[in-house]
Structures are given as C-alpha cells and as structure tokens.
C-alpha cells in the first residue's frame, strides 16, 4: 500500500488551502502594480507543481552526480537553448534559485574577497546585490557607487570619472528602480577604459530586451544576469548568460558546487515553458503594451501635478516623487493599498526621508498588462491614484475607490477558480 496520500490540498491541509484561496482573491480583486511582480500562465504553474519536484539532479546535463536524470537533462537543455535563442547569446545557466544568487555566482566566479566593484547606489535605483552594505555584495567586496543626477538620469561622464578613481574589477549596470533606457554600449566603453569586467543585471527589463524594445546588454556586457519572473512573466528564479566560454565555465562552477546543491528541476521546467511563451510573436505585443501603459501612467500623473522622476519612462515603471508634498512614500503606499492598489514606497533622487519612510513610490505596469488592461484602463487607474493622493487621509474615499476598482478588476480575471 502506498504511504503517499491521494487527498488533494483542500482535503489534506484546509488551512493552507484557505490561505491560497484568499491570496487568489486578493490578486484578482486588487490591482497589482509593484514593478517586480507579474502573473505567470497556468502552464507555468503546472510545470512548477510537476513530478520534477521529486528529482535530485546535481550537476549539469549529461554531467550529473545522480542517476535517473535522463528527462531532467532534456528539460534543462531545452531551457538553456530557448534562453540563448531569446537573448542571442552562447551560454546560459538556468539553475540559479534567484536573481540574488545569480549575482552572487558572478562575483564568486570572477572576484576574490575584497575586490572592488562599482554599482548603482541602492538609494538611486540600484539593487542590494550591487554592493549595498547590508548585502553580501557590500560585505565581501569593496563596493563603490554611482548614481543619478537630480533629473533622475545616469550621467555617464560622471560614472567614468568615478570608475577612473576607483579602478574596479567589475562594473555593475542595471537597476531595480530606473525608468530610462540603460546605455550598455557606454558602460562597456567605461569598463574598457578602466580595465573592468562589465556585468549587466537586467532583471527588471529582461522582458523588454527579449522583445527588442530595450537595447540588449549583448554584445557589450561580459556577463548578464536576470530573474525569470518580473517582465519575463515566468517562475521565480534566476539565470546567468554570457558569450565567453571561460566565464561560462567559471559561472557553472560557482553555481554548483560553489553556491547551490541540487537544481530545482521543476522550476527549470517552468522556466523552459516561460521561454517558449516569450518566443511566440505575441510576446512583442505584450511588451509594447507594457511600455504604452507606463507612458499613460506617467502622463496622467504629471498632468495632475505629480513629479515623475526623470520626467517619464522608457520601460515598465515610474518613480513618483513627493519631495514637494507634505506626505511620504510610506503614507502613499498605505493609502493606495487601502484602495486596493498595490505599489511600493521607494527612495528618490534628493531623498530627505529615511529608507523606511521614503519620499516616493514605484509603480509598474507588467502585471495589469498581463491581465489584458490597456491605455483606457490605465488612464482610469492613474486618475484614481491621483484622487487618492490629492486627499490622502480620506479613508472613505479610499474605500469607495476600492469598490470601483474591484468592479474594473473583475472584467480582467486572469485565473478562473474552476480551472485554477
């Protein structure tokens, strides 16, 4: 007799089932506008919940330390091949469990403890793993920073000035809160001038790069990392890519056995499914709609008197600055959340408040675009955001708008409970 229960989740663990049902309701009824969040397809979730969750497969295709990896080899190779086709590169490692671990592997492969890295300041739109002091990247390595000007844009001449002084081993380009296109060619020129390796983290913009709607880091970057969720709309995970065979070998060793043990084959299978979706011609339409919707957000907020950092956006997000307002990013985050709009507080150039309070919010369009919303809906939502911010302490208004937006959200249900 099998010792494995045949009960489904509702029968096996009603507490967890109810929590999942509540989260499904929240995602359906609320407007998810955090720039790093998105909705995967049911096919991707099916792969994540597949029998591959049972399989250990330490090593790489055809070079495993466990038996029974024939099918695991096939699925990982498919993911690799599709990733290389999407990003027009030669080598890809699809095993990183997250973007942070992908970044850690790059450092482990190419640096020694204490080596200098030059990355974007966290408070200016960078990421923890780009050298921030609380992160391993700021503790294990000697980290220096560049930022943006008060206009919200990177000044590449200043980056070069800093690089000449610092002489880093690695320059990190890429951001988690930067609304303008990144000039990878200029970054490579800077790296060449100071003899540095150029490392591009495209976790936020990868889906736009995949659609040829943002300039690619290749052939300029020596090594590139990304998450596989965010604008790529896949499962939560990471990936590392390069055109350099020597770097590829070092990366593979850094991931396994350096930082990770057995790869998550069920997640790699889901990555492969996501990559197939991205290779469909329809992907470019989605990515273009993401950009179009972001521009509507920016235009409406500016028309209503709100400051948008850098004066607009070239990608999937905007940063709204409240430096000239008497309320904080934390207050705005809370008020919008009460109205069923999920964003996140964020620091802005010229920040005067603490990182736990901030003077801005970050708003993204990928998740609502995945639900099928277009310019018309984003204009409505943007005006509702402004209505809330104009009268930020009005909880009755927040409740009323929440009811209105719930009706709007119901017209764009992404997961049907009967088939989820």
Q: Which residues are catalytic?
A: 56, 58, 201, 227, 230, 236
Nearest to 89 by CA among 81, 77, 99: 81
Nearest to 317 by CA among 290, 347, 335, 285: 290
Beta bridge partners of 44: none
Phi, psi (deg, nearest 5) at residue 397: -65, -40
SS3 395: helix
* The pair of three-digit structure tokens given for residue 274, joined into one six-digit string: 């996501």
Q: Where are the beta strands (DSSP E) in 16-115?
A: 31-32, 59-60, 63-64, 91-93
Alpha helices in 142-223 (DSSP H): 156-166, 184-194, 206-210
Query: What is the spatial distance between Cα 95 and Cα 384, in angstroms, rounded to a whole number?
Result: 41
CA distances from 119 to 123, 162, 409 (A): 12, 11, 39
Using an 8 Å Cβ cutoff, are 159 and 185 in contact? no
Query: What is the spatial distance between Cα 45 and Cα 42, in angstroms, rounded to a whole number?
Result: 5
Nearest to 184 by CA among 207, 202, 208: 202
A 10 A CB-CB count for 157 gives 9
* The pair of three-digit structure tokens given for residue 352, joined into one six-digit string: 């005067």
Phi, psi (deg, nearest 5) at residue 400: -65, -45
Q: For 127, what's the count of Cα atoms within 13 Å in the CB-facing half-sphere?
A: 23
Query: What is the spatial distance between Cα 46 and Cα 229, in angstroms, rounded to a whole number?
Result: 16
- Would strands 344-346 and 142-146 be described as parallel, antiparallel, or unpaired? unpaired
Write the Ramachandran bin of 416: left for phi over 0, alpha for psi from -120 to 50, otherwise beta.
beta
Using an 8 Å Cβ cutoff, are 169 and 327 in contact? no
Buried b / exposed e along 223-249 (16+ C-beta atoms within 10 A) = bbbbbbbbbbbbbbbbbbbbbeeebbe
* The pair of three-digit structure tokens given for residue 380, joined into one six-digit string: 């409505």
Query: What is the spatial distance between Cα 11 and Cα 232, in angstroms, rounded to a whole number?
Result: 34
């Amino acid at each position: 007799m099998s010792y494995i229960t045949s009960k489904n989740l509702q029968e096996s663990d009603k507490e967890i089932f109810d929590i999942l049902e509540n989260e499904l309701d929240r995602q359906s009824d609320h407007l998810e506008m955090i720039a790093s969040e998105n909705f995967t397809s049911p096919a991707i979730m099916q792969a994540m919940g597949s029998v591959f969750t049972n399989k250990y497969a330490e090593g790489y295709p055809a070079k495993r330390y466990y038996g029974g990896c024939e099918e695991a080899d096939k699925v990982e190779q498919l993911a690799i091949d599709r990733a290389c086709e999407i990003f027009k590169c030669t080598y890809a490692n699809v095993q990183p469990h997250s973007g942070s671990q992908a970044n850690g592997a790059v450092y482990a492969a190419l640096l020694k403890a204490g080596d200098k890295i030059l990355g974007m300041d966290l408070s200016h739109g960078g990421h923890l793993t780009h050298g921030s002091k609380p992160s391993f990247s700021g503790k294990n390595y000697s980290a220096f920073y560049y930022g943006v000007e008060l206009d919200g844009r990177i000044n590449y001449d200043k980056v070069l000035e800093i690089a000449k002084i610092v002489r880093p081993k690695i320059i990190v380009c890429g951001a988690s809160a930067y609304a303008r296109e990144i000039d990878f060619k200029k970054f490579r020129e800077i790296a060449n001038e100071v003899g540095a390796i150029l490392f591009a983290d495209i976790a936020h913009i990868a889906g736009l790069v995949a659609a040829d709607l943002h300039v690619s880091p290749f052939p300029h970057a020596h090594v590139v990392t990304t998450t596989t969720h965010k604008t790529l709309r896949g499962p939560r995970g990471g990936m590392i890519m390069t055109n350099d065979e020597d770097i590829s070998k070092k990366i593979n060793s850094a991931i396994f056995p350096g930082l990770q043990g057995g790869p998550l084959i069920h997640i790699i299978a889901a990555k492969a499914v996501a990559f197939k979706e991205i290779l469909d011609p329809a992907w470019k339409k989605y990515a273009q709609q993401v950009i179009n919707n972001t521009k509507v957000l920016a235009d409406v907020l500016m028309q209503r008197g709100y400051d948008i950092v850098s004066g607009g956006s070239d990608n999937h997000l905007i940063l709204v600055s409240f430096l000239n307002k008497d309320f904080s990013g934390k207050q705005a985050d809370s008020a919008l959340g009460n109205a069923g709009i999920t964003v996140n507080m964020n620091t802005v150039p010229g920040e005067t408040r603490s990182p736990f309070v901030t003077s801005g919010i970050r708003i993204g369009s990928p998740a609502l675009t995945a639900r099928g919303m277009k310019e018309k809906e984003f204009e409505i939502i943007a005006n509702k955001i402004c209505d809330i911010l104009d009268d930020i302490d009005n909880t009755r208004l927040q409740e009323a708008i929440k009811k209105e937006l719930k009706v709007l959200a119901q017209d764009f249900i992404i997961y049907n409970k009967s088939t989820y």
